[in-house]
Amino acid sequence: MDEWKGKVLLIGTGFLEQIVKNYLSKEKIITMQGFKDVEAKFENFQDGLFFSIICDSSLSEAEALEAAQLIKCQSPKTPLFYVSQKREGFAPKKFIKNGFNDAFLMPFDEENLKFKVLDTISADALANRTFRAVRPIDMPIGAESTFDTFVFLPLNNKYVKYIPSGTEVTQEKMQRLERSNHGRMFLDQKDMSKFFEHTANHLIKMNATSNTMTETEKEEKLNTAVRSLVFDIFDASQDESIDSGKEMLVTCQKIVSNYITHGSEDDWYAMLIKNMGGSGGGYNRVSSISTYAALMGIGLGLGSIEDLAIAAMMCDLALSDVPIELFDVDPKTWPEEYKKIYETHPQQSINLIKKKKLVVSSAAEKAILQHHERFDGKGFPSQRHGHSISQEAQILSVALQLYDLTVPVPGKAKKTPFQAIEEIAKNGSISPELGNNLIKMFSDKHGSNIKKGKSA
């Protein structure tokens, strides 16, 4: 089967080709329509034939599991992935137990799927160069870079080479990056192994302990932990007992203490800036909003930091019922079926949590239910107004807006954190008191330079 060699196999009649076409060239994709195709042709499968195999949820669960067993008999070392757009019945642990290497739920998992697939293929199969974000703080000053690094200019939708391979990483260059509001640098996907080797060698020279991680690795660990938690909530095959609910709450608390608030008491603002500028969507978005909410809570001197972080992790769970392609357009233009899901997703997210017997605090529950309410009464789902909206819900609203206003979006100028906070404070979504406190808090931390856009 020479025509199959060096390609990614997509099995199903659904949406997979639309998803992967952004990073795989068309000639590197081969499709089979369903289980009958697999059953008829699986004897020709062998390791080294396909880069990877992806099966979608147009197959029934029984068909997907049987297909996995057939494929793994013939090609046990070929990466095999399952992708679903349906939360109902999604059981990732069952799929992995029965032969799949990983299972993905759209839209949250779009970026995770992308990089898992890219890790399996050679560079010549890519439709375009693919970039991954890294933290600038991980680039050792004074060392010679062994790979090209880039910055992303969202207004022009361009990646521009910033530090070429073979040149020194200088203090001046890194300070310039910080002043120009770039919270991330970008590498070609194929150079990520070089980046981790480069940073590991630096940590060794600094006599770091064996468990010391780069900031980029910590961010990936946080995203992985949040993904695992969300999967436990969605997993239809998992227990729904009070004990399992308690275990999930403990997991939430550990994520907050280990990855979000650890060390942030010293300088919440520095931590906030360091966490800005990541790629949009998926678990990165969930992790970032949770971090922003917790850090602003620390800056405001609130006692409900853990509640803020947990509410942010869970406030949009029910949006998993919305097709991935709709997230690129304004919800006001969505078909009525999905517009209704969007308008009711705060309550539906609470329903998902309660179904799993995960008991969150009253403050966290209010924050989830009210995070789209507005102080001026123009929000949803209940059109609450004024001080009937909890302070935690208002801070969560700020975190969501802050993320959307500062994340790099192609064709759109990115705002500095201070510019974003000024806009949020004046748009009627939060109380004037909270808005004024946030403006003062951000201004005091960063001084007059932030108003001029001279720093991130």
User: pLDDT value at position 450?
Assistant: 42
> For helices 215-234 and 242-255, what crossing angle results, to 10°?
160
Task: Give the Cβ contact number of residue 206 at 10 Å.
Answer: 9
User: pLDDT value at position 297?
Assistant: 95
The residue ranges of DSSP E strands in 129-239, in sequence order, are 131-134, 149-153, 158-163, 185-188
Write out the H or E segment, with its range, that includes residue 171: helix 171-179
User: pLDDT value at position 328?
Assistant: 79
User: pLDDT value at position 264?
Assistant: 64
Residues 345 and 316: beta-carbon distance below 8 Å: yes
Low-confidence ranges of the chain (pLDDT < 70): 1, 123-127, 208-211, 263-266, 279-281, 446-456
From CA 414, how far away is CA 404, in angstroms rounded?
9
CA-wise closest residue to 216 among 233, 188, 192, 241 = 192
From CA 301, how far away is CA 375, in angstroms rounded?
21
| CATH topology match: 2-125 vs 215-452 | no
From CA 378, how far away is CA 381, in angstroms rounded?
10
Q: Report pLDDT digits (tens) over 262-283.
A: 766 668 888 888 888 776 668 9
Q: What are phi and psi of 400, to 5 degrees?
A: -65, -45
Pairing verdict, β 131-134 and 185-188: antiparallel
| pTM for the full predicted model | 0.90
CATH of the domain spanning 215-452: 1.10.3210.10
User: pLDDT value at position 446?
Assistant: 62
Give the CA-trace dihedral at 206, 211, 212, 217, to 10 degrees. Answer: 130
User: pLDDT value at position 455?
Assistant: 42
User: pLDDT value at position 263?
Assistant: 65
Pairing verdict, β 50-56 and 80-84: parallel
Q: Tokens 């004046």 identify what position? A: 426
User: pLDDT value at position 453?
Assistant: 44
From CA 441, how far away is CA 238, in angstroms rounded?
43
From CA 41, how far away is CA 37, in angstroms rounded?
6
Which residues, other chains included, contact 129 with Cβ-Cβ below 8 Å and sequence gap of 6+?
159, 188, 189
CA-wise closest residue to 72 among 53, 59, 91 = 53
Q: Provide the CB-side half-sphere exposure for 306 (13 A, CA).
A: 13
Q: Which residues pair with 84 in a beta bridge?
A: 105
CA-wise closest residue to 250 among 359, 352, 354, 355 = 359
Domain boundaries, the chain: 2-125, 131-205, 215-452
CATH of the domain spanning 2-125: 3.40.50.2300
From CA 420, how far away is CA 437, in angstroms rounded?
14
User: pLDDT value at position 18?
Assistant: 86
Residues 289 and 400: beta-carbon distance below 8 Å: yes
From CA 298, how far away is CA 261, in angstroms rounded?
9
Write out the H or E segment, with its range, that includes residue 275: none
Q: Report pLDDT digits (tens) over 182-209.
A: 888 999 988 999 999 999 888 888 776 6
What DSSP string runs through 84-138? Answer: ES--TT--HHHHHHTT-SEEEETTTTHHHHHHHHHTTS-GGGBSS--EEEE-GGG
From CA 85, how far away is CA 411, in angstroms rounded?
28
Which two tokens mark 430?
């939060």
